[in-house]
Amino acid sequence: MRKVAVIGVGNSKFGIRNDVNVSELAFEAVKPSLEDAGLAAKDVQFVALGSVGAGAWYEELLPAVVVGEYCGLTGAGLVRCEAACASSSAAFFSAYSAVASGHADVALALGVEKMREIDTPTAMEWIGRAGYYFWEFHNFGLTFPAYYALYASAHMAKYGTTEEDLALVAVKSHKYAAMNPFAHLQNRVTIDDVLSSMVIASPLKLYDCCPMTDGAASVVVASEEKVRELRIDTPIWVAGIGYSSGTANLSRRRDFVGLDASVLASQRAYKAAGITPSQVDFAEVHDCFTIAEIMAYEDLGFCGRGEGAKLVREGQTEIGGKIPVNMDGGLKAKGHPIGATGCSMVYELTKQLREEAVERSRQVPLKNYVGLAHNVGGTGHYCYVTILRR
């Protein structure tokens, strides 16, 4: 296997983007990623696109083809990857594999999602079906917040995690999103704002939930030889990738206090990178709901089982703490354009590791120059953990 580096990244503005269609939105991420790498579209040999709502919450059934043409990538090897909310981490793995295996010298991973072309109940319907439609949606109408709410109730009952603890995650996310010009929600919120917001699926309330967001992110990866040839200043190396999956039926899970897929994927990623959790300087974790961030701390080994709430209470996941988490506002406040989130996490890791262009107020201190992205698809149905090192 060859060494692979991230050499270019781009991220569109996240938000309600009814000013652009899927191709125009993707272009906003692809163009800056190619410029960042110093390459033209024709230099890309393989393209993997992550997107979930094709033909469902937006109109194009073959977004990879449509976006490929619009961005000048036609002719390259092309695939759309689906791993629910981890789709563009799967795309990143696909692009990485193409280069690591020697099939390609330059590959592009891209994520794009248009979630705001349909009404909210229909969006709730589509996303609620994203588990096991036949056994858990058809008769029971589970929604995506409800899936995570099942985990929240169990975590609260077992470890004494409170609604105030969950609110602290939202307060932190909004605080950092307010410093991120790409973020969907840039308003700061208080614990009382979160606690008094409307119940979506108990115990989760509106401010415990990520918004439905339009957005795109793009990442160019290259081989070590290509990095040298292009004289890339600050290549960000892929140190390790781990992946796993969980049962479709939530009723087939061992417990509801953590995601086994996250535990396994992170253990595999740490092993591939040859590091332990304590060597990670900062992380992007999959906080589609506040409970998801608390479980991620535990699943990724940043603290012991049941200690996730304590970590956020102590401010250990803020700048200056033990391990800063989601300094871009996270899915919770930066927004969660499902298929774009994985590549947007890689964008943030790359910018932070280069210590460039990130608003200084949210630049993390670097000791080992190692960042981790944890991207979950569905409710622990898929998981990818990507570790990057400068």
Partner 1 sequence: MSSTSMPVIKSRPITIVEEIPISKTLKFWEGLKEGKVYATKCCKCGRLYFPPSADCPDCLCSDMQWVKLSNEAEVETFTHVVIRPTSFCEYKPYTVAIGKLKEGVKVLAWLTGFKLSQIRVGMKVKLAAKVSQEGNPTYEFTPP
Encoded one letter per residue, x for contact with partner 1 by CB under 8 A and - for no contact, window 57-96 reads: --x-------------------------------------
| Residue from 198, 231, 320, 360 binding partner 1 (CB under 8 A) | 198
Q: Does 195 bind partner 1 (CB under 8 A)?
A: no
Report helix, strand or coil for 77: strand
Residue 210 falls in the annotated catalytic set: no
Maximal C-alpha separation, the chain: 58
Nearest to partner 1 of 78, 150 (CB atom): 150
Residue 103 falls in the annotated catalytic set: no
| Residue from 146, 239, 300, 312 binding partner 1 (CB under 8 A) | 146
Please state the closest distance from residue 129 (CB atom) to partner 1, in A: 8
Residue among 292, 291, 266, 295 nearest 279 (CA): 266
**Residues whose CB is less than 8 angstroms from the CB of residue 257 and which lie 6 or more positions away in sequence, other chains included:** 151, 154, 155, 158, 159, 295, 305, 306
Q: Does 196 bind partner 1 (CB under 8 A)?
A: no
| Residue from 67, 149, 288, 358 binding partner 1 (CB under 8 A) | 149
Q: Give all strands (DSSP E) within the chain, no chain letters.
A: 4-11, 46-50, 77-81, 106-113, 199-201, 204-205, 215-223, 236-245, 282-284, 370-377, 382-389
Please state the closest distance from residue 250 (CB atom) to partner 1, in A: 6
Please state the closest distance from residue 127 (CB atom) to partner 1, in A: 8
Of 131-139, 161-169, 233-241, 343-351: span binding partner 1 (CB under 8 A): 131-139
Please state the closest distance from residue 59 (CB atom) to partner 1, in A: 5
Of 32-40, 45-53, 130-138, 327-335: span binding partner 1 (CB under 8 A): 130-138
d(CA 107, CA 99): 7
DSSP code, position 45: -
| Residue from 43, 77, 153, 306 binding partner 1 (CB under 8 A) | 153
Report helix, strand or coil for 122: helix
Do residues 285 and 145 lie in contact, with contact meaning Cβ atoms separated by under 8 Å?
no
Please state the closest distance from residue 14 (CB atom) to partner 1, in A: 17
Please state the closest distance from residue 149 (CB atom) to partner 1, in A: 4
Do residues 33 and 6 lie in contact, with contact meaning Cβ atoms separated by under 8 Å?
no
Please state the closest distance from residue 347 (CB atom) to partner 1, in A: 26
CA distances from 13 to 151, 181, 182, 227, 370 (A): 31, 8, 5, 28, 26
**Residues whose CB is less than 8 angstroms from the CB of residue 58 and which lie 6 or more positions away in sequence, other chains included:** 22, 113, 114, 115, 117
Q: Is the peptide bond before 277 cis (omega within 30 degrees of 0)?
A: no
Residue among 97, 374, 335, 339 nearest 218 (CA): 339
Encoded one letter per residue, x for contact with partner 1 by CB under 8 A and - for no contact, window 7-26 reads: ---------x-xx-------
Site for partner 1 in 110-129 (CB under 8 A): 116-122, 124-125, 128
Phi-psi region of 312 (alpha: psi -120 to 50; beta: other; left: phi over 0): alpha
Q: How many CA atoms lie within 13 A of 379 on its CB side?
A: 31
Q: Does 272 bind partner 1 (CB under 8 A)?
A: no
Q: Does 285 bind partner 1 (CB under 8 A)?
A: no
User: Which sequence positions are flagged as catalytic?
Assistant: 85, 336
- List residues binding partner 1 (CB under 8 A): 16, 18-19, 59, 116-122, 124-125, 128, 134-136, 139-143, 145-146, 149-154, 157-158, 198-204, 249-253, 255-256
